[in-house]
Amino acid sequence: MIRHFLHTKNINAISVLSYFISIKDDGNMPISLEYKAKNELLQKFPKIETCLKCNTCALVCPVQYAGFSPTNTYVNNIFSSREPEKNPNIWLCVSCHKCEEICPYEVKPPEVIEALKDEAFEKGYAPEAIREEINQVLTTGYAFPIFQSLHFINRERERRGVEPLGERKVGEIRKIAKKTGLENKMVGVRPR
Amino acid sequence: MTERYAFFRGCFVPVRLPQIEAITQKVFSDMGVSLVNLDDFTCCPEPVGVGINDKMMWLSLAARNLAVAEEKGLDIITICNGCTYTLRHACNALNSNKQLLNKVNETISDTGHEYKGKVKVSHFLEVLKNEIGTKRLKGAVEYPLSELTIATHTGCHLPSPKEVMKFDNPFDPTILDDLVAVLGATPADYDMKTMCCGWTLMTYGAREGAYALLKDKLSNMKLAQADCLTVVCPQCFYQFDMGQWIASRKDIPQYNLPVLFYLQLLGLAMGYNLQEIGYDSHKVKNPEFENKIKMR
């Protein structure tokens, strides 16, 4: 599997070599024995235990550019800390699912990282950018910040010959958010 | 024969990249496909920020969007990998799980919508490839881009996870290359083709990492003699265009590799000029590329 993968055009010998040189071995267990919710996590995602630490996932992870090796993001960096849900690095995961596709043992790292994010969000550890983005969706119906009013955006749209944007159905989004309980979780976020 | 689709524009394109929305409308109407704007659509919602933190909210909002198109009897066409990812995940989850569907419909019942499971979600690449077909696409090309070598970047959320998206091989994507070849251009074979664009690193706090990623990707494209690169997702577009511009002011070399949305390239091949496809708003411009376009 790995040999086959290495023969595809995306990974050459140099990148593999430079990757292995970049691994920092800090002697941590892949899943910290101290992590309180470990058993719960293993029960929920039993596939974690089949992880061989073969590092195949690490080769394809874009987070390797963020200053630490991806072995640290998934197995070490995240699970070796006492409270992985507090680890700010979980938020760098793009959910690109490349690790999931390449894994020879069908461990699904994104599922675990998503579960940790979920837990972190519940406990209020999510970074401002994430909370602000959700707030943005709830209050405007757009995921990206509308810095100025729609008027400003519509001026540019008019110049490009597309019809102006209107307000989105925020009322309906709020109704859904009330039912799912997200609105309560968002209490404390600065209202717009 | 006119085909009609509900045009799911998402958030990023209408707000920040209206030129792409404009060229999408032009290109599809030229090919006899009408894209209908529905005012009731909201954010899809965005998968990495909202999707992960509240699954129920994610599914419910997506189901509401699906229901909006369903009520008009239209299938959805998207121009963003993220929107496709969210809506197809929702379709997949809701169509295969009756219990979940009932729960989600109960959640959105206050809004007066109900999703019945009859909507098909297609990324515009799928519409071009499967519905319109390369034959018709070839017929629409009046000015082949034969001077150009183009590096393609399909992005992450369209091909993966493959059991849900069912689009292309995530480790050797070929669909975009084939569609670039239809325009008469040569697809560039470059290293690190499937690596992410780095948008999330850039937006969620690891800017230096994003610059390093861009540097590797762009230098590989340059090595493969690419004149420009093409993307099918507005976030990738923004990252390669604005990101490249920002990164070039830091310590990475000036690659000056223009970025074009695939539909902009199609527009060029159909005879629109650089101004009409919105090239004037791009951050990264390259006179060599512009000359090759003028020579087409």
Task: Find chain B residues with C-beta within 8 A of A163's C-beta.
Answer: 37
Plot region of B36 (φ>0 → left; ψ -120 to 50 → alpha; else → beta): beta
Helix axes B55-71, B98-107, angle to 10 degrees: 80
Residue A17's pLDDT is what?
A: 37
Question: Which residues neighbour B59 within 8 Å (Cβ) at sequence distance 6 or greater?
Answer: B90, B93, B94, B100, B104
CA separation, residue B176 to residues B179, B182, B209, B263, B280 (Å): 5, 10, 27, 11, 24
Task: Find chain B residues with C-beta within 8 A of A101's C-beta.
Answer: 160-162, 170-171
Residue A47's pLDDT is what?
A: 78
One-letter amino acid of A180: T
Q: How far is B32 from chain A (nearest CA, A)?
A: 18
Span A176-190, pLDDT tens digits? 998 888 887 776 555
pTM (2 d.p.): 0.88
pLDDT over threshold 70, residue A124: yes
What domains lie within chain A, and their CATH numbers? 2-123 (1.10.1060), 128-185 (no CATH)
Q: What is the mean pLDDT of residues B22-43?
A: 94
Closest CA to B7 of B50, B69, B81, B89: B69
Q: How far is A158 from chain B (nearest CA, A)?
A: 9
Q: Extract the tokens encoding A173.
A: 């989004």
Residue B177's pLDDT is what?
A: 96
Task: Find chain A residues with C-beta within 8 A of B277's C-beta.
Answer: none
Span B212-269, pLDDT tens digits? 999 999 999 999 999 999 999 999 999 999 999 998 888 778 899 999 999 999 999 9
**Does B161 contact A at CB distance below 8 Å?**
yes
Given this chain, do its domains B3-123 and B141-294 carry the same CATH topology?
A: no
Give the DSSP letter of residue B188. P
**B150 bridge partner residues:** B187, B228
Task: Find chain A residues with C-beta within 8 A of B278's C-beta.
Answer: 160
CA–CA separation, B190 and A84 (whole Å): 37
Span A57-85, pLDDT tens digits? 888 888 888 766 555 555 555 566 667 77
The answer to whether the Cβ–Cβ distance between B57 and A160 falls below 8 Å is no
CA–CA separation, B211 and B127 (whole Å): 33
Q: How far is B201 from chain A (nearest CA, A)?
A: 6
Beta strands in chain A (DSSP E): none
Decide: helix, strand or coil at residue B187.
Answer: strand
Considering the segment(s) B3-123 as one domain, its CATH architecture is Up-down Bundle (1.20)
Q: Extract the tokens encoding B188.
A: 């560039």
Span B171-225, pLDDT tens digits? 999 999 999 999 999 999 999 999 999 988 888 778 888 999 999 999 999 999 9
CB-nearest partner of A168 from B21, B42, B107: B42
The answer to whether the Cβ–Cβ distance between B56 and A180 falls below 8 Å is yes
CB-nearest partner of B18 from A101, A143, A156: A156
The highest-level CATH class for domain B141-294 is alpha beta
CA–CA separation, A176 and A138 (whole Å): 10
Strands across the sheet containing B149-153: B186-187, B149-153, B228-231, B259-261
State the complex-level ipTM: 0.85
- Per-domain residue ranges for chain B? 3-123, 141-294
Neighbours of A150 (CB within 10 A): 17
Task: Find chain A residues with C-beta within 8 A of B107's C-beta.
Answer: 176, 179-180
Q: What is the mean pLDDT of residues A137-141?
A: 88
